[in-house]
Amino acid sequence: MTDPIDPRTRIGHVHLRVADLDRALGFYCGVLGFTLMQRYGTQAAFVSAGGYHHHIGLNTWDSAGGAPPPPGSTGLYHVAILYPTRVALADALARLDAAGIPLTGASDHGVSEALYLDDPDRNGVELYRDRPEAEWPRDEAGGLQMVTRRLDLAALRAEGAARSP
């Protein structure tokens, strides 16, 4: 057995193949609120939160005008975007609601609360916030006991509305 990976290791960014760069930017920047950091014509763009060089790369290098992969094929299940607070997640839900983007799911996993949807190219997207580790569900021996329960969207919307100016 090998030693575990350094616990400070993080996934720094993801690159997604898209069919139409402008449409993808409309979703990631226009709806979710990421900032365009750099664009290479109609072929690629890099977007971020908070001025990082890029959290998401979008490109049409092998996919311009392409169709999403059919159900039952391998590939990316979803990209997960971590929000720092429940209020920030509520803001993301309000953005989706305002843009008329439907959710494909919404779950409370005990350790996190998650919204699931598809981007315009049918790439799976998870928007989530983690609960503090002290609140994670545990069994009697202290082992992690993640769950999948229905997320109370009305309560999440209400929390966001209560914090809005």
Write out pLDDT tens, residues 99-128.
999 999 999 999 999 999 999 999 999 999
pLDDT band, residue 160 (cuts 50/70/90) = confident
Indicate the pLDDT class of residue 164, thresholds 50, 70 and 90: low
Per-residue pLDDT, averaged over 48-76, amounts to: 93
Write a three-state SS string for the chain: CCCCCCCCCCCCCEEEECCCHHHHHHHHHHHCCCEEEEEECCCEEEEECCCCCCCEEEECCCCCCCCCCCCCCCCCCCEEEEECCHHHHHHHHHHHHHHCCCCCEEEECCCEEEEEEECCCCCEEEEEEECCHHHCCECCCCCECCCCEECCHHHHHHHHHHHCC
Summarize pLDDT for 129-153 with one digit per residue, the tens.
999 999 999 999 999 999 999 999 9
Strand, coil or helix: what is 117?
Answer: strand
Cα–Cα separations (whole angstroms), residue 18 to 56, 63, 73, 161: 12, 6, 17, 33
Q: Amino acid identity of 6?
A: D
Q: How many Å apart are CA 120 and CA 56, to the nearest integer? A: 15
pTM: 0.91
pLDDT number for residue 165: 55
| pLDDT cut 90: percent of the chain above it | 85
SS3 134: helix
pLDDT number for residue 98: 97
Tell me the mean pLDDT in the region 84-104.
97
